Chain A
Amino acid sequence: MAQITLIEAVTMALAYEMDHDASVIVLGEDVGINGGVFRATVGLLEKFGPERVIDMPLDETTIAGVTVGMAAQGMKPVAESQFEGFMYPMLDQIASHAARLRNRTRGRMHVPAVFRAPWGGGIRAPEHHSEANEAIFTNIPGLRVVLPSSPGRAYGLLLAAIRDPDPVIFFEPKRIYRQYKEEVPDDGEALPLDMCFVLRDGSDVTLVTWGAQVKETLEAADALADSGISAEVIDVATLKPLDFDTIHESVRKTGRCVIVHEAPRTAGFGAEIAARLAEHAMYDLLAPVQRVTGYDTHIPLFRLEMKYLPSVQRIVAAAQQTLAVS
């Protein structure tokens, strides 16, 4: 069994599903001979040929719209956007068609497509290469939005995304693409697309996060443990549909919740979780819910970006604040 990184898990899942389902094809910019600018599709052209690994003309509207068309005709396209910041031209096709063709046709047609993109900041990238724009997509009915944070979850969730009969936005936290390796069996086992993952058990406070921020959140849990605070850490992984039960169960136990995400604060997905806690967990809470997020500004260019992204310290401080309330 191989030790692989998150990005290698993406490649492995694509290759597995292309091997087992001839209707799966990969399309995007530079996904062929170059293997994608991050190398997520490396080796696929050699293995599956140019009819299943398609370098597209440089236009995201084209890529997204063609993806809708192919999917509606029974193929399973996995479209790559080179960066999350270049998905905006895709929005019309995704929101107006991919996400609603099923509803528009009362189920006669549907769009079993995946829209993949490297996501998030913290890699000293140029302008427009560091966005965390997941909340734009979680507000669109008919979409699933997935954001894995480990090699194993990337593999299992991407398989599930490709097999799902509806369109899935699959964001890959590029900051942790190569952060560490873990053993991932190439067994074609998908993970459920509607499940949060409890990464660490705790009893005093629940830390809820997703994407690359899982790293800082686990570090914060370590730091809290040093001062005798037991933090439970949940990786949301699939934002939409949200497995609120897992979060609620944890908060029932801890009575405290800190939500961590790198996207801007206002109407970020943390707001949805906080709202559900207000709706369903009001009497379980011992302290107000805290959010540690990016600010309501554009993520700064890289000289300042680490001051924008939630730090271990900010997470620890927010957790301590929930505990200061008695």
Chain B
Amino acid sequence: MTIAASFEIEYLQYLDTTGKATRKDLPEFARDLDHMIDLYKTMLFLRVFDTKSIALQRTGKLGTYASCLGHEAVYIGIGSAMQEEDVFAPSYREYGTQFIRGVKPREVLLYWGGDERGSDFSGPAHDFPWTVPIGTQCLHAAGSALAFKLRKEPRVAVFCIGDGGTSKADFYGAINVAGAMQLPMVAVIVNNQWAISTPRQAQTGAKTLAQKGLAAGLESLQVDGNDLIAVRAAMDHALKRARHGHGGSVIEAITYRLSDHTTADDARRYRDDAEVKAAWEREPLLRLRTWLELAGAWDEQREEAWKVQCGQRMDEEVNAYLGTRTQPLEATFDYTYAELPIDLVEQRTAALAAESASH
């Protein structure tokens, strides 16, 4: 028999669910405990943010909201590895990455609160806004990467995509062009096992989602997406390769959606409580906290003190959000083009007249 090609997919993990190191070669960044504490604190803030956002939705103060519960290690791992000049193309729940990049919680709330100004956020001006049409952001990352390559800029475009989103033509197109052209692009598949009610195995017959990247000629692996160190290490490696012109990567982060799909969803209709309960055993905060505690770098007291600070910061953010007045109707018109065409000027005038007539 002649083998035309063969492949394997590595699974990367540094910390197990009990917070114990599963390998001796901890990456350099993980030896800096102050840094690791910072990352843990960001994860905890993200969880406080998420809990608060759901509460706002439940009390009618926010529209539909997409929770990131359980994804904290993935998003903080990505955000902490990226450079500001890199480009991030998110789907719709990567707030953790975005907070590190300077997006404010109040801006996330504005977006889900029905106000476009949330997408005019404080993060890097070259970062894309949230992307609701599944998978479309993948190609924007590929296009950004192509621009960097053509202009010889040492920058990388990173996108996130869900397990469901890897079925989309846009995802296949993005990894394909990145492989064909050796683009500086990193694709992170956030495999949380569910696409609304559709389980991971219903999306593809492939054994892993990472191997789709191999088919496109990208370096591809799986990581324990609940292990911050593993996500960060894989990102560091992928970003470095891409930045040095060695091409793109696919990182499949194995995690779990501990929440409903969004606040408009009721996951009890389609998944077992037992599965969710088991997933809580693997959740990302607990293991990092345990690891930090075992290293003597964290304890209950610090945990509680930080939670209080997170709560205070969130109160400020929520107040800022709730205090943001609705945009004037003009705003619906004024960003449609660089300059408002005469046609639309007339409609704008009529709209404002109709509005004042109704007062």
Taking Cβ atoms with an 8 Å cutoff, the residues of A that contact B are: 29-30, 32-35, 37, 55, 57-59, 61-62, 85-86, 88-89, 124-129, 265-266, 295-298, 300-305, 307-308, 311, 313-314, 317
Would you list which residues of chain B between 22 and 37 have a CB under 8 Å from chain A? none
B344 pairs with A296, CB closer than 8 A: yes
B358 pairs with A58, CB closer than 8 A: no
B270 pairs with A34, CB closer than 8 A: yes
**Which of B63, B165, B269 sits near A34, CB closer than 8 Å?**
B269
Q: Which residue of chain A has the shortest Cβ distance to B324 in the bound complex? A: A303
* Contact status of A301 and B347, CB under 8 A, knowing A33-B270, A58-B164: no
Find the residue from A30, A58, A305, A317 having the highest chain B CB count within 10 A.
A58
A-B contact list, 25 entries, CB within 8 Å = A30-B198, A33-B197, A34-B197, A34-B270, A57-B167, A57-B198, A57-B202, A58-B134, A59-B135, A61-B169, A62-B169, A124-B63, A124-B114, A125-B64, A126-B92, A126-B112, A296-B343, A296-B344, A300-B116, A302-B114, A303-B114, A303-B326, A305-B114, A307-B332, A313-B358
Would you list which residues of chain B between 153 and 187 have a CB under 8 Å from chain A? 164-165, 167-169
Interface residues on B, range: 35 or more
When chains A and B are docked, how far (Å) is the Cα of A295 from the Cα of B341?
13
* Contact status of A126 and B357, CB under 8 A, knowing A62-B167, A295-B351, A301-B115: no
When distances are taken between beta carbons in the complex, the residues of chain A under 8 Å from B348 are: 295
Q: Tell me whether B327 is interfacial, beta carbon within 8 Å.
A: yes
**Which of B116, B167, B329 sits near A58, CB closer than 8 Å?**
B167
A304 pairs with B326, CB closer than 8 A: yes
Q: Tell me whether B308 is interfacial, beta carbon within 8 Å.
A: no
When chains A and B are docked, how far (Å) is the Cα of A305 from the Cα of B116?
12
* Total of A-B residue pairs, C-beta within 8 Å: 120
When chains A and B are docked, how far (Å) is the Cα of A58 from the Cα of B331?
34
Q: Which 4 A-B pairs have the closest CB atoms?
A: A302-B114, A34-B197, A57-B167, A58-B164
When distances are taken between beta carbons in the complex, the residues of chain B under 8 Å from A61 are: 168-169
- Additional A-B contact list (18), CB under 8 Å, known A124-B114, A265-B347, A303-B113: A37-B196, A37-B264, A37-B265, A58-B195, A61-B168, A62-B167, A62-B169, A85-B133, A86-B134, A126-B64, A126-B132, A128-B132, A295-B348, A295-B351, A298-B336, A303-B114, A313-B357, A314-B354
